[in-house]
């Protein structure tokens, strides 16, 4: 049996046959609908957090940093649960939670504009700190969350088969 | 009211990211996540243009916070970078980070320049 190809791109990866097929014919409408609904939910949460935690002009954009790092931690939990190691979930879970909610919650464009605005205001140090801080926070969060989730899943699988895990 | 504009923009932006990602992958078979790279660059260009044009609160909510916010993504970008590194494609992972950030920033300045505005 050949190994099932695993996605690199969690939004959609055409190397994965199930994902390639999910826009064929009428199947695409529920997929697009849950992505749309999830995106609206995620963006609403981001908008709400930005309103609750406003950043003054020239200030460090803490709210966007927190949103992006949190969203990266959550996708690091989600993807091992629903797609790695041959695990499967309902076919609308990834489109709704991964593509929609987390994709709508996190934002690259706001991050890029905030770095650019700090640069344009000659606040190079703050711009660099924010640019690098978000990158390190996001990549660290996704890596730690994915590792912890995979370990938890492996421990549970091991327990089911009566294997003791350290 | 403003909240509704964010919702409408995001309801279009998120599926637009998914469809664009598919279209890019269908035309360009590669392990490098070009689809996500393209939507993040395009969204940064548009948000730079809106910022430069000093868009009204409503326009910014609909097209900026909503559409660009949902069209672009940090979660997808970070997970695919992790996957590239884990699969041994460390150069592609590093290139994805460097190219996404540098092109994203360049796109913002380009967008702001196109609308004749200032970012500061």
Smallest Cα distance from B33 to chain A, Å: 6
Q: Which two tokens stand for residue B58?
A: 């409503």
B119 assigned to some structural domain: no
Three-class SS of A77-98: HHHHHHCHHHCCCCCCHHHHHH
Mean pLDDT for the stretch of residues A144-155: 96
pLDDT in tens, B22-38: 999 999 999 999 999 99
Question: Residue A2: what pLDDT?
Answer: 42
A165 assigned to some structural domain: no
Contact B69 A46 (CB under 8 A): yes
A5 assigned to some structural domain: no
Closest CB to B65 among A43, A95, A99: A43
Q: What percent of chain A has pLDDT over 70?
A: 93
Contact B78 A141 (CB under 8 A): yes
The residue among B79, B80, B101, B119 with the most chain A CBs within 10 A of its CB, best to mutate, is: B79
Gap between the Cα atoms of B96 and A8, Å rounded: 12
Model confidence at A1, in pLDDT bands (50, 70, 90)? Answer: very low
A94 assigned to some structural domain: yes
Mean pLDDT for the stretch of residues B86-114: 97
pLDDT in tens, A11-48: 999 999 999 999 999 999 999 999 999 999 999 999 99
Question: Residue A60: what pLDDT?
Answer: 97
B9 assigned to some structural domain: yes
Whole domain around residue A87: which residue ranges? 17-160
Contact B119, B51 (CB under 8 A): yes
A123 has a chain B CB within 8 A of its CB: no
A6 assigned to some structural domain: no
Residues of A in contact with B26 (CB under 8 A): 14
- By C-alpha distance, the chain B residue nearest A31 is B15
A56 assigned to some structural domain: yes
Q: What's the structural domain count of chain B? A: 1
Question: Residue A157: what pLDDT?
Answer: 81
Q: What's the structural domain count of chain A? A: 1
Contact A102 B73 (CB under 8 A): yes
Across chain A, what does the average pLDDT equal? 93
Which range, of A1-5, A76-80, B71-75, averages the lowest pLDDT? A1-5
- By C-alpha distance, the chain A residue nearest B73 is A107
User: Distance from CA of residue A68 to its chain's centroid?
Assistant: 8
Annotation: binding site of B for Na(+)? 69, 72
Question: Residue B117: what pLDDT?
Answer: 81
Model confidence at A164, in pLDDT bands (50, 70, 90)? Answer: low
Model confidence at B96, in pLDDT bands (50, 70, 90)? Answer: very high
Q: What percent of chain B has pLDDT over 70?
A: 100
User: Distance from CA of residue A17 to its chain's centroid?
Assistant: 22
Mean pLDDT for the stretch of residues A94-99: 98
Contact A100 B36 (CB under 8 A): no
Whole domain around residue B81: which residue ranges? 2-114
B120 assigned to some structural domain: no
A112 assigned to some structural domain: yes
pLDDT higher than 90, residue B104: yes
Question: Residue A163: what pLDDT?
Answer: 57
Torsion of CA A126, B3, B105, A145, to 10 degrees: 70
Q: Which two tokens stand for residue A20?
A: 């390639």
Contact A4, A86 (CB under 8 A): yes
pLDDT in tens, A103-141: 999 999 999 999 999 999 999 999 999 999 999 999 999
Model confidence at A86, in pLDDT bands (50, 70, 90)? Answer: confident
Instruction: Classify residue B116 as left (phi > 0), alpha (psi -120 to 50) or beta.
Output: left
B39 assigned to some structural domain: yes
Gap between the Cα atoms of A57 and B120, Å rounded: 9
Contact B69, A64 (CB under 8 A): no
Smallest Cα distance from B58 to chain A, Å: 13
Give the residue carrying structure tokens 């749309």.
Answer: A36
Gap between the Cα atoms of A51 and A74, Å rounded: 22
Q: What angle do CA A8, B17, A40 make, to 5 degrees?
A: 115
């Amino acid at each position: 049996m050949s190994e099932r190809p695993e996605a690199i791109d969690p939004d959609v990866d055409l190397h994965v046959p199930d994902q390639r097929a999910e826009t064929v014919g009428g199947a695409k409408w529920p997929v697009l609908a849950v992505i749309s609904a999830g995106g609206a939910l995620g963006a609403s949460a981001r908008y709400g957090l930005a309103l609750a935690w406003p950043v003054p002009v020239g200030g460090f954009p803490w709210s966007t940093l927190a949103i992006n790092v949190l969203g990266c931690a959550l996708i690091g939990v989600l993807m091992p649960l629903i797609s790695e190691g041959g695990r499967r979930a309902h076919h609308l879970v990834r489109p709704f939670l991964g593509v929609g909610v987390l994709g709508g919650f996190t934002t690259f464009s706001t991050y890029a504009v905030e770095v650019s605005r700090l640069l344009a205001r000659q606040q190079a140090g703050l711009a660099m700190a924010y640019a690098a801080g978000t990158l390190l926070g996001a990549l660290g969060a996704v890596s730690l969350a994915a590792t912890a989730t995979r370990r938890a899943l492996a421990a549970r699988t091991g327990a089911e088969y009566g294997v003791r895990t350290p | 009211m403003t909240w509704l504009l964010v919702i409408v923009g995001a309801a279009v932006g998120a599926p637009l990211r998914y469809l664009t990602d598919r279209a890019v992958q269908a035309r360009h078979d590669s392990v490098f996540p070009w689809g996500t790279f393209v939507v993040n660059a395009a969204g940064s260009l548009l948000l730079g243009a809106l910022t430069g044009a000093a868009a009204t609160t409503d326009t910014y909510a609909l097209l900026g916070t909503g559409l660009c916010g949902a069209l672009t993504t940090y979660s997808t970008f970070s997970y695919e970078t992790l996957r590239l590194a884990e699969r041994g494609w460390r150069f592609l992972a590093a290139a994805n980070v460097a190219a996404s950030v540098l092109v994203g920033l360049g796109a913002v300045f380009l967008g702001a320049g196109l609308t004749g505005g200032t970012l500061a």
